[in-house]
Homo-oligomer: A and B are copies of this chain.
């Protein structure tokens, strides 16, 4: 079920949106100001955000750029005023769409469908397999030696981010922001602890990782093919 976060301080609008969204099979959560909205995004990770610009505590574009610093999730902006410069500012700050009040619920729902449709471009290979285990992203399962490997929620989130970017290097900041939230970007300890967990559960020899590789000082990389030969020239000094 698609999860929508509505950030708005006007009670009637909030209620109308909630009723309509729930009726169309969305899972709805709400926040009444920008600060709690940002916190809710970091905590709940909704699939799409509907953001009213007329918030009591901060400017709407601040909320947008606060999110865009670490996530690309779709943001649809609502606004009461027709100020064109405000529309331009919000769109350029990173909003995906802009709807002016009063708006028709049918239109908002259609724009919501567009945003969600566009954000789900991953019907490709949900199963990644190494020689020692298989990761099924869609089924959220890891199979090793024919048996399920039990992963805790945090372990799974971390593995999922790495597998989605397989073969690519993912920086520590990016991993921390996507798994723990943007305010944890300096807690490098978490990464080391949970990478150790994953390696103990997945690697044939946890002390010599073949799949979950460390790039010292930068981040981590998940790789399925073992094309890690020793360079012929060597690094000998």
**A residues in contact (CB < 8 Å) with B:** 84-85, 87-88, 91-92, 95-98, 104, 106-107, 109-111, 113-114, 118, 138-141, 144-150, 152-153, 156, 167-169, 201, 215-218, 221, 227-232, 235
Contact = CB atoms under 8 A, between A and B. Distances in A.
Contacts of A227: 146-148
Given A139-B168, A168-B139, A168-B140, A87 B107 contact: yes
A169 B153 contact: no
Nearest to A167: B139
15 contacts: A84-B104, A87-B104, A87-B110, A88-B106, A91-B111, A92-B113, A96-B114, A96-B118, A97-B97, A118-B118, A138-B168, A140-B169, A147-B231, A147-B232, A156-B218
Given A215-B140, A217-B152, A228 B88 contact: no
Contacts of A153: 216-218
Contacts of A110: 87-88, 91-92
A232 B92 CA distance: 53
A98 B104 CA distance: 13
B107 A229 contact: no
Contacts of A147: 227-232
A144 to B, nearest CB: 7
Nearest to A91: B110
Contacts of A95: 114
Contact of A169 (B109, B141, B146, B217): B141
A163 B231 CA distance: 22
Contacts of A91: 107, 110-111, 113-114
A169 B153 CA distance: 12
A129 to B, nearest CB: 17
B92 A107 contact: no
B97 A84 contact: no
Nearest to A117: B94
Contacts of A87: 104, 106-107, 110
Contacts of A92: 110, 113
The 3 closest A-B pairs by CB, nearest first: A153-B217, A140-B169, A91-B110
